[in-house]
């Protein structure tokens, strides 16, 4: 049991030593991730639509 308590105490000490990003940094990164996800989603959607149209056009 003593080792478990030591583990958690050392974990808490290490977490206090870390440099955490500020709120504006986190928000900026979040906006970039959301934006890139939307762009990638749109690209995949339109690529799929074009390929489906091409395949349907040449098969029929």
How does 8-24 read in b/e, with b if 16+ C-beta sit within 10 Å? eeeeeeeeeeeeeeeee
How many angstroms separate the CA atoms of 60 and 56, rounded? 6
- Range 10-14 average pLDDT: 94
How many angstroms separate the CA atoms of 20 and 17, rounded? 9
The pLDDT of residue 47? 98
Q: Is the pLDDT of residue 40 over 80?
A: yes
Q: Is the pLDDT of residue 38 over 90?
A: yes
List the domain boundaries for the chain: 21-60
The pLDDT of residue 42? 98
Residue 60 pLDDT grade (very low, low, confident, very high; cuts 50, 70, 90): confident
Mean pLDDT score across all residues of the chain:
95
- Range 37-43 average pLDDT: 98
């Amino acid at each position: 049991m003593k080792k478990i308590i030591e583990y958690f105490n050392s974990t808490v000490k290490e977490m206090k030593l870390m440099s955490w990003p500020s709120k504006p940094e986190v928000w900026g990164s979040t906006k970039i991730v959301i934006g890139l996800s939307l762009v990638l989603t749109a690209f995949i959607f339109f690529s799929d639509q074009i390929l489906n149209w091409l395949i349907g056009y040449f098969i029929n």
